[in-house]
Amino acid sequence: MKADWLWIGQVAMAALVNVSYAFALGSALYGAWLDKDGRSPVSPARAASLRAQRSLRASALVLVVALLVWLLYESASISGEPLPAAFGVVSTVLAQTHVGLAWSVAFGGALVLLVTVFAAAGAVRDGVLWLALIATAAGRAALGHAADAGFASAALGLHTLHVLSASAWSGVVMAGGLAVLPVLGTSTARGILIRTSTQVSNVAMFAVGLVLATGVFNALRGTGGSLAALTESAWGHVLLVKLGLVALALVLGGYNRMVAMPELRRAASTAAARRFVNVIHLEAIVMIGVLVLAAVLARSVPGYMLQG
């Protein structure tokens, strides 16, 4: 990989896409979990429900903007033009490259998501919202190396599942630890925190299983089955660091599930609630690192290519 300013800009925008999409998905889940309790103005879940809504709207807006800027950087990279002049080749990239097609799917989903999050709540709105999230994930997956095997390929299908599951795991952690769960720390909201923490843990555990299964496939494909691709390439080094952060996130999530949550259910104390939220806050920071490294990997030459 050539770490020039153009590459850095592409990675920065890709990382922002990863984080904002995961935040949107996680916020949508919290919005669904807290919707019924949060409708009443006097409910202890009201503040958390409003935070979930605001987080969803903000992340959807950031996602649309990040995808637009990413396309400009990608057009400059493909054409060899300097960044300001890349505006003139955007239409060509969209019409004549697989990147343009994949980006159109991702951006279309993100744009529908942005419109939907400001619409009135209802079954139709919720259905469109989840379809938009899935479409965005499919487009994002096609922007990576998985599309090398073609749009109608098992590799792309599995990578789409990987994007969805990884975003669900990181999203409930980030949106929870950084936005929603801290306002459920009061004694009056303790029951809602306990119920929501169980939902977070169950979604995270299910998503982790899918992440590990699809991640193993992606890693084997990226290395070509050779351990040398991990140790002798920059791509492999980044992957190893990412795996280390994933392992740390698993440890933190495991601690919350095995230690903090049982204590929270048993004692329902302020100290137990604070401990659970603090750990998920730390896990959220680790997850941001994982998503940034995922963007670096997507813009780096896979190890198996460097191995020939």
CATH of the domain at 171: 1.20.1630
Coil, strand, or helix at residue 139? helix
Give me the pLDDT at residue 56, please. 97
Query: Would you state the structure tokens that stand for residue 287, as one six-digit string?
Result: 């997850």
Q: First CA to last CA across the chain, in angstroms?
A: 16
In the prediction, which pLDDT does 146 show? Answer: 55
Tens of pLDDT, residue by residue over 220-240, are 666 655 666 667 678 788 888
CA dihedral sign of residues 287, 21, 65, 183: negative
Ranges of the chain whose pLDDT falls below 50:
307-308
- The number of folded domains in the chain is 1
- Which residue is associated with the tokens 């605001």? 54
- Distance from C-alpha of 132 to C-alpha of 192, rounded to nearest angstrom: 28
Put simply, whether the predicted model's pTM sits higher than 0.75 gets the answer yes
Task: Identify whether the C-beta of residue 182 lies closer than 8 Å to the C-beta of residue 197.
Answer: no
- Cβ atoms of 275 and 205 within 8 Å: the answer is no
Give the model's pLDDT for residue 7.
87
- What is the distance, to the nearest Å, from the Cα of residue 56 to the centroid of all Cα atoms in its chain? 13
Find the domain containing 170 and state its range. Answer: 5-306
Q: Specify the pLDDT at position 221.
A: 65
Residue environment code for 177-199, b if the CB has 16+ CB neighbours within 10 A, otherwise e: bbbbbbbbeeeebbebbbbbbeb
- Identity at 127, one-letter amino acid code: G
The tens digit of pLDDT for each residue in 185-219 reads 888 889 999 999 999 999 999 999 998 887 777 66
3-state SS assignment for residue 42: coil
Token output for 131: 């379809």
pLDDT, residue 14, reads: 94
Q: Are 34 and 48 in contact (CB under 8 A)?
A: yes
Q: What is the structure's pLDDT at 90?
A: 93
Q: Please calculate the CA angle 121-126-131 and round it to the nearest 5 degrees.
A: 150
Residue pair 72/86 in contact by the 8 Å Cβ criterion: yes
pLDDT of residue 228: 63
